[in-house]
Every structure is written in structure tokens, then in C-alpha cells.
Homo-oligomer: A and B are copies of this chain.
Amino acid sequence: MIYNDFKKIVNISKEEISGQILEQNRDSIKIKKEKRAIENLIRIIDATLAICSKKSFQAMSIRDLSAESGMSRGALYSYFTSKEELLVLIQAQGREIANRVLCDQIAHGNGPAEKLRLGIKSHIYLSEAMQTWFYFTYIEARNLPKDEQKRAIESELQTEKIFIDIINEGIQEKVFRDENVVLAASVIKAMLQDWYLKRWKYQNRKVSVDDYADFVINVVESTLLIK
């Protein structure tokens, strides 16, 4: 599996994502023409992610968003009903696609050892291709309304569950050591998240996405694999 494959998946999905957003929010989005709506949703989301890689969503004003996206404040409010709804919209869709792509990828693996490697690689690749999106989803989750926060937590736990299941499978098949499964999945998740949370660090040090993925796999296999 090569990283470039992933980039393609994500780029192709960009319109698809906005299309999904449009579908799921047909009532609150006032624009009739689908093509126009999708185009501008992409502009709005790109602008939001660009701004929020530099400052927090709270700190971003609708005026900032207007300037960055090149749309007027009034026009923006044809695409969402409130600033908070914009946050929810981006987060929900980000979680959705991340989870879907990850599940798709892992399904291709044969046996727990390969699935584990595939899960780690897929997640790191995906977070590389959608870095601003992942960063935004993580860092702004606390600004979500309570009910949406719950959904974010569930999503986080579900991703972890994927790894828990793989590790359990490996223990049953006697290819993995009988370690604390939940903790193992937790620290795997921690290492995966570091890649998109500390992108500046790895970029400065010229650590490639493959270097990092291989190293994480090495650490995990050292801990789990029976030699």
C-alpha cells in the first residue's frame, strides 16, 4: 500500500463529502442548485479549516470566514443557520468519512497481524491526507454542544474498538501476547493521533509518513507479537 493511493481517495471524496453534507442538511441550506451549493460548501469548509489551523474556531469570526472564503456574511448564512451548526456539520462529516475509509481498508487484511499493520498504516495515511480535518476534529471537539460531544466520544471509542477486536483476535489465535488489550489499543491510538497533532514537529525533522508508520508498527509488534 502506498500513500499516494490514499491521497486519491481523499481528493475524489471531497465533492462527495460536500454532497453528503448537502443531503443531510437540505432543510437548513437555502441554496437550490446542487452544483452551486456543493462548490461553495467546499469553499466554506476549506476556508474554515485553513483559518482554524492558525487560530481556534471560537476565535474565528464570521467576518474572518467571509474574507477567507470570498463570500459575504449574508451568503454564508445561506449555507448554515449558525456558526455552531457549521462546526457540528464539519465535525460530523469528518468523523463519518474517517470511520468509513478506515473500516474499508482493514477489511482487506488477512489475519490479525496483517490487519493490525493495515489499521495502523491506514489511520496514519488517512490522517496525513486529511491533516487539517483531523486536527480540527480533535482540537475543536470541546467546543461542540453537549449532544454532539457525546457523538464525538463514541466515534473515538469506536475507532479504538477496531483495534481492540484485532488484538483480541490475535491473542485467541496465539500470535499476540496476552497483554492488557484495552491499554494496548489506547496507546496505539495515542501514537496515531500524535502524527496529526504534532505535524509541525515531524515536518521540521523531515520524518516521512512512512517512517512514522513503520516505527509505530515496530513498537506495537515488539509489544504484542510472539516471536
Given the complex of chains A and B, what is the CA–CA distance between A56 and B202 in angstroms?
A: 27
A56 adjacent to B143 (CB under 8 Å):
yes
Instruction: Write the chain B residue with the least CB distance to A140.
Output: B56
Q: Residue A173 at the B interface, CB < 8 A?
A: no
> For chain A, what secondary structure do more than half of its interface residues adopt (helix, strand, loop), or is it mixed?
helix
Contact B59 A143 (CB under 8 A): yes
Instruction: Name the contact of A58 in the complex, choosing from B56, B184, B216 (C-beta under 8 A).
Output: B56
**CB-nearest residue of chain B relative to A200?**
B153
- Does A34 have its Cβ within 8 Å of any Cβ on chain B? no
Which residues from chain B contact A139 at a C-beta distance below 8 Å? Answer: 139, 142
Q: Which residues of A contact B (CB under 8 A)?
A: 55-56, 58-59, 139, 142-143, 153, 156-157, 179-180, 182-184, 186-187, 189-191, 193-194, 198, 200-202, 205, 207, 211-212, 215-216, 218-219, 222-223
